[in-house]
């Protein structure tokens, strides 16, 4: 039996990016839950983390569109919490139903998860993550004055709010998660990278408007739980260099030396594959008995058996 932390990519939640309805998301998750239950059926302990980019964006945009004196915009940390519950509900239902079909008697639960970040993280001085609706330049200027937002033009489509993307330092609910995992339950946690919070200095926590990369948060979770495998599921079976070109090369293995060279060459997109690569490498750093694998959802079972995906080596 292996303890496997799965980091689910956005394609596992919303197959068609143009159809962002709850019905479409549930249908996609129902289809994709089979690959995860395959691992549970084989006796592995499975802990599930996931992204929330489109979903939290929808929630923020809905509040922005409905904003008025009597209906204020919801703070971003609260929107993140809402997305964790919404996505968790769908994953719980889909995996729970699939387990029942197969006669697997396990409970499954979503933990609304806070993740501590350093209030002095350099990311707070270099905002990079766009969230919410698009606005005109005039509206953006007004939001900067009235609400203190930082607004940035986004690819000719209008202005959007941007927030920081700090590194995760501590998962607040780690002991609760560990207790449930040790008891044999399936746990969904650190959704969207977790709700970013800072320590006020007296042991109390405060939510901050930020986005924690879900791959880094999932890696932190895997490290805390001393997982055997960190399984990053994305839209491709293997990591590739020269991606999309005639000389594309799919990689069955990646060493730290190779990763550093490929990063230097700019082989991995910063907002896509690069954080997955860095998180996968971090998980095995100094721990050769661990495995980090990047592959597609469809190849998850084969990847655990060693016949698919890209495996990271020290």
Q: Give the CATH number for residue 275.
A: 3.40.1160.10
Domain of 31? 3-114+172-313
Residue 126 lies in a domain: no
Residue 159 lies in a domain: no
Mark whether 18 is an active-site residue. no
Residue 144 lies in a domain: no
Displacement of CA 2 from its chain's centroid (Å): 21
Residue 132 lies in a domain: no
Residue 200: Cβ-neighbour burial (10 angstroms; 0-12, 13-18, 19+): exposed
Residue 197 lies in a domain: yes
Residue 188 lies in a domain: yes
CA-CA distances (angstroms) from residue 80 to 59, 91, 154, 212, 228?
9, 16, 22, 11, 29
- Which of the residues 52, 214, 220, 238 is marked catalytic? 214
pTM reported for the whole predicted model: 0.92
- Which of the residues 220, 238, 276, 299 is marked catalytic? 276
* Spatial separation of the C-alpha atoms in residues 166 and 123, rounded to whole Å: 5
Residue 253 lies in a domain: yes
Residue 158 lies in a domain: no
Which SS3 state, helix, strand or coil, does residue 130 take?
strand
- Which of the residues 10, 119, 158, 207 is marked catalytic? 10
Which pLDDT score, from 0 to 100, does residue 276 have? 95
Please name every residue paired with 210 in a beta bridge, in sequence order, or none if there are none.
164
Mark whether 129 is an active-site residue. yes
Per-residue model confidence as pLDDT tens digits over 6-59:
999 876 787 777 778 889 999 999 999 999 999 999 999 999 999 988 888 888
Q: How many domains does the chain have?
A: 1
Which pLDDT score, from 0 to 100, does residue 278 have? 95
- Which of the residues 11, 51, 193, 194 is marked catalytic? 11
Which pLDDT score, from 0 to 100, does residue 60 have? 85
Please report, in tens digits, the pLDDT of each residue of the chain (314 residues total): 999 999 998 767 877 777 788 899 999 999 999 999 999 999 999 999 999 888 888 888 888 888 777 888 889 999 999 999 999 999 999 999 999 999 999 999 999 999 999 999 999 999 988 887 788 999 889 888 888 889 999 878 899 889 999 999 999 999 999 999 999 999 999 999 999 999 998 889 999 999 999 999 999 999 999 999 999 999 899 999 999 899 999 999 999 999 999 999 999 988 789 999 999 999 999 898 999 999 999 999 999 999 999 999 87
Mark whether 192 is an active-site residue. no
- Report which secondary-structure segment, H or E, holds 300: helix 300-305
Which pLDDT score, from 0 to 100, does residue 54 have? 83
Mark whether 214 is an active-site residue. yes
Q: Give pairs for 298-307: CB < 8 Å, separation 24+.
A: 298/35, 298/237, 299/237, 300/6, 300/35, 300/36, 300/38, 300/39, 300/231, 300/233, 301/35, 301/38, 301/39, 301/42, 303/231, 304/2, 304/4, 304/39, 304/42, 304/44, 304/229, 304/231
- Which of the residues 32, 96, 129, 220 is marked catalytic? 129
Mark whether 119 is an active-site residue. no
């Amino acid at each position: 039996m292996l303890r496997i932390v799965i980091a689910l990519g956005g394609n596992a939640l919303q197959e068609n990016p143009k159809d962002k309805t709850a019905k479409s998301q549930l249908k996609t998750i129902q289809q994709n839950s089979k690959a995860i239950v395959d691992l549970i059926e084989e006796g592995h302990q499975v802990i599930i983390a996931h992204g929330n980019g489109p979903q939290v964006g929808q929630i923020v945009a809905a509040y922005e569109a409905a904003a008025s004196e009597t209906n204020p915009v919801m703070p971003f940390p609260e929107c993140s919490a809402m997305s964790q519950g919404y996505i968790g509900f769908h994953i719980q239902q889909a995996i729970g139903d699939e387990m029942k079909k197969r006669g697997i008697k396990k409970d499954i639960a979503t933990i609304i998860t806070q993740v501590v970040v350093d209030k002095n993280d350099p990311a707070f001085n270099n905002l990079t993550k766009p969230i919410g609706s698009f606005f005109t330049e005039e509206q953006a200027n007004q939001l900067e004055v009235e609400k203190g937002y930082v607004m940035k033009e986004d690819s000719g489509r209008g202005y959007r709010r941007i927030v920081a993307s700090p590194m995760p330092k501590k998962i607040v609910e780690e002991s609760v998660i560990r207790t449930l995992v040790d008891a044999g339950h399936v746990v969904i946690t650190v959704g969207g990278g977790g709700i970013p919070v800072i320590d006020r200095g007296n042991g109390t926590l405060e939510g901050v408007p930020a986005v924690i990369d879900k791959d880094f948060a999932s890696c932190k979770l895997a490290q805390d739980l001393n997982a055997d495998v960190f399984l990053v599921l994305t839209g491709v079976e293997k990591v590739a260099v020269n991606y999309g070109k005639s000389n594309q090369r799919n990689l069955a293995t990646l060493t730290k030396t190779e990763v550093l060279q490929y990063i230097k060459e700019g082989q991995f997109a910063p907002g896509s594959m690069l954080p997955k690569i860095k998180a996968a490498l971090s998980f095995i750093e100094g721990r050769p008995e661990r495995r980090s694998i990047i592959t597609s959802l469809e190849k998850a079972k084969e990847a655990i058996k060693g016949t698919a995906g890209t495996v990271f080596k020290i």
